[in-house]
Structure 1
Amino acid sequence: MLRKILFASVLMLGAPAAMAATCSADIEGNDMMKYNVANIDVSKSCKTFTINLKHTGKLAKNVMGHNVVVAKTADMKGIDADGIKAGLSSDYVKAGDTRVVAHSKVVGGGESTSVSFPVSKLAGSDPYSFFCSFPGHSALMKGTITLKP
């Protein structure tokens, strides 16, 4: 009997745990123009992925606002330049910009926002990034998005 229990225990310990994919990520931006994460893992098993952004600073959105934009890494500079022209009323993202996978609204200190997008939009072999398109922020406020099996 003891041998059967030990054998069953060994089998259970060696078995991989079934884990549900996490289809969201929580990030924070602060008044020092920094996100608290440098990479977001996105599971291919998710149909939709959500990024929740919390601005942990105190400054208003017109002074030190933050958003999160998802795009191919190669498109960041162009999206950023066009976003500056679009202005705060457009959340520093040009209307109808097809290079943008997704973007949140701009929030100020103490505020939060979320953005969801279909994981299928992260297609191809090009690297993807997330960044803040508030003028001048993307130099420091950026990270990579890694698509995981």
Structure 2
Amino acid sequence: MKRILFVPAVAFSLFLASCGGNDSKSTETETAPETTTEAPAAEAKPGADIPGINDVAVTDNIELTGNDELKFDKTLFKIKAGQDVKLTLKNIGKMPKEGMAHNVVILAMGTDVQAFGEAAVTEKSADHIPPSMVSSVIAHTKLLGPGESDTITFKVTEPGVYDFICSFPGHFGSMKGKIVAE
């Protein structure tokens, strides 16, 4: 039994000895690692991380349609901050206004879309624009029935990404998009 343990113990000791450090002082001088200074990164454009944004041209005329399938025909726009923008919404659906009206509400940056949409449900008398959150609204169209359209003009002063939704009950989850202001 002692011989069985002796051979591995000797082999292990030799292995450790071969891994030992060299105590002699090196004559080479250490060089300081190279440091490089990176040029400051160019400031990222608002919305640069949004898929498809590079394929969208800057516009000052947004035309949207809403349908009975709870969809806008377009969901991404690029505008210039500080410039007047004309937005036209047309409801191309066939269902009655009482059950399938559409609007466009452009929300201020940082607005909680979920909270806004939930608050809008009970605000029928205010065209589903919650009075408690009116400060979060940049602009909005009227609620539209089938075949109706509305045109508004708005301006955002700050570059950034602005959400837009339809605030009719139950629509904000699928009828939404983004406006990127440069």
Percent identity over paired residues: 33
Output aligned runs, 1:30-69, within 5 Å: 30-44=67-81, 46=83, 48-69=84-105
Show the counterpart of 2:54. Answer: none
Q: Assess if the C-alpha contact under 8 Å between 1:75 and 1:99 holds in 2.
A: no
Which segments of 5 or more consecutive residues in structure 2 lack a partner in the other structure? Answer: 1-57
Misfit runs of 4+, over 4 Å: none
Q: Which one has the bigger helix percentage?
A: 1
**Higher relative contact order (CA closer than 8 Å, sequence separation 6+):** 1
Higher Rg: 2
Cα separation, 2, equivalents of 1:50 and 1:73: 23
Shift of 1:115: 2.3
1:15 matched to which residue of 2?
A: none
Q: Residues 113, 100 of structure 1: CA spacing in aligned structure 2 closer, same or farther, 3 A cutoff?
A: same
Structure having the larger proportion of residues in strand: 1
- Per the TM alignment, residue 95 of structure 1 is displaced from its structure 2 partner at its CA by 2.8
Unaligned stretches of 5+ residues in structure 1: 1-20
Partner amino acid, structure 2, of 1:50: K
Instruction: Describe how 1:1-149 pairs up with structure 2 within 5 A.
Output: 22-44=59-81, 46=83, 48-71=84-107, 72=109, 74-87=111-124, 89-95=125-131, 97-120=134-157, 123=158, 125=160, 127-148=161-182
Superposition CA RMSD, Å:
1.8
Deviation at 1:70, TM superposition (A): 0.4
TM-score, normalisation: structure 1: 0.74
Q: TM-score, normalised by structure 2?
A: 0.62
> In the TM superposition, what whole-angstrom CA distance separates every residue of 1:118-143 from its partner, at most 9, and x where no partner exists?
221xx264x31111001110111001
When the two structures are aligned, how many residues end up with a matched partner? 123
